[in-house]
Chains A and B, each alone.
Chain A
Amino acid sequence: GAVVSQHPSRVICKSGTSVKIECRSLDFQATTMFWYRQFPKKSLMLMATSNEGSKATYEQGVEKDKFLINHASLTLSTLTVTSAHPEDSSFYICSARKTKNREHQPQHFGDGTRLSIL
C-alpha cells in the first residue's frame, strides 16, 4: 500500500512553456504533500509543503509565483512550473504523508519527473 504516482515521468519542452506535474496518492488520503527538486548527484531540496485545502508553504528562495502548487483534494497535488527556462531543468519529486504534522508517519515518494527545458 501507500503508492504515490507522479505524472509525467519525463517532459521536454521549449523555454517559456508552462509545465504541470501531477502527484497522486493512489490508495490513501494524503493530508500533506511535499515537492522536492534534485540536481544530479545532489540531495533532495524541499521546495514547498502543502496541506490539503490550504496554501502551500514555500521554502526560502523558492519563488511561489514561479512554482505554483495546488493541493485541492486529499489525493492530488499539482506543481506548475510557469514560463520555464533552462535553469529550471531538474528532477522534481513529490511525496505524500497520510496525516498532518505527525513526524513518525513516513513520506511516500513518487518516482519523479525529469524536466528538460530547451
Chain B
Amino acid sequence: AQSVTQPDIHITVSEGASLELRCNYSYGATPYLFWYVQSPGQGLQLLLKYFSGDTLVQGIKGFEAEFKRSQSSFNLRKPSVHWSDAAEYFCAVGPGGSNYQLIWGAGTKLIIKP
C-alpha cells in the first residue's frame, strides 16, 4: 500500500541551528515528492518538489531536500533556522491514484527555541 511516514511528531531546534525533517515513503514506482509548510490556521504552501533528475532539490525560504531511492526517503533540510520557520511541515507523495491525488504524512511540528 502507498504510504508516507514522518517519524517525528515534534522537533525542537534552536534558532540558527540546522534542521532535518524526515520523510519515508512506500510506493510502487518512482514517486513525485513534495514538501509543504502550514502555519497555524493557514493553508499549505509548497516548499519544494521532486519529479525527476537531480536528487537534491532547492526550494523556497532556504530549504532543500534530497531524494534517496535506496532508502525511500525525501528528507527536508535547512542549514540555519529562523523563528519564522516555526510551523507544521508535511511530506506528500503522488500520484496516489489515477487522478493525481496526493498521499500525505501526518506532519512534523517544528518548534524554534530562542
Whether chain B is bound by chain A comes out as no
